[in-house]
């Protein structure tokens, strides 16, 4: 199976441990995570029977080790299964940062750069809502 080259309109680089922790905590509320990207921030949202929750990420260059970098040329809003993201995050110990690449109607790419070895990428198709 080949994966075509894609220009991604939203790129988020976040500390791997932080992203893993966010996904684990949000899964307590819902099975699905909605990622909304804007020019200045990224919002990770969940809504389930137990309630609603969200985490808002903004670009931060104060500490290079924990910095979150957001690059958005076009806003994207997609929903993904949290159980798969949590499986992908098991690779977070291999890389200090997780890179999320999003584009409308394209799978999410979760990327881990492994020093001197290369890159580990996971692809996750967005959930299809019943209202579409």
Task: Provide the residue ranges of all domains of the chain, joining segments of one domain with +.
Answer: 10-124
Q: Dig out the tokens for 52 from the structure.
A: 């609603």
Whole-prediction pTM value? 0.88
Which DSSP state fits 90? G
Q: Which CATH number fits domain 10-124: 3.60.150.10, 3.70.10.10, 3.40.50.10190, 2.60.15.10?
A: 3.70.10.10
Q: What pLDDT was estimated at residue 53?
A: 92
- pLDDT tens per residue, range 18-42: 999 999 999 999 999 999 999 889 9
Q: What pLDDT was estimated at residue 80?
A: 97
For the chain, how are helix, strand and coil distributed in percent, rounded to 5?
20, 45, 35
Residues of the chain with pLDDT under 50: 132
Contact 60, 67 (CB under 8 A): yes
CA-CA distance, 91 to 55, in Å (whole number)?
22
């Amino acid at each position: 199976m080949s994966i075509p080259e894609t220009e991604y309109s939203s790129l988020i680089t976040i500390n791997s441990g932080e992203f893993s922790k966010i996904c684990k905590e949000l899964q307590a509320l819902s099975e699905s995570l909605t990622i909304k990207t804007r020019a200045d921030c990224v919002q990770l949202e969940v809504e389930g029977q137990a309630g609603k929750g969200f985490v808002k990420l903004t670009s931060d260059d104060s500490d290079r080790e924990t910095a979150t970098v957001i690059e958005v040329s076009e806003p994207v809003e997609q929903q993904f299964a949290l159980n798969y993201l949590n499986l992908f995050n098991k690779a977070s110990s291999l890389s200090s940062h997780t890179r999320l690449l999003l584009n409308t109607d394209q799978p999410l790419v979760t990327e881990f750069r492994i020093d001197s070895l290369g890159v580990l990428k996971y692809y996750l198709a967005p959930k299809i809502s019943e209202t579409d």
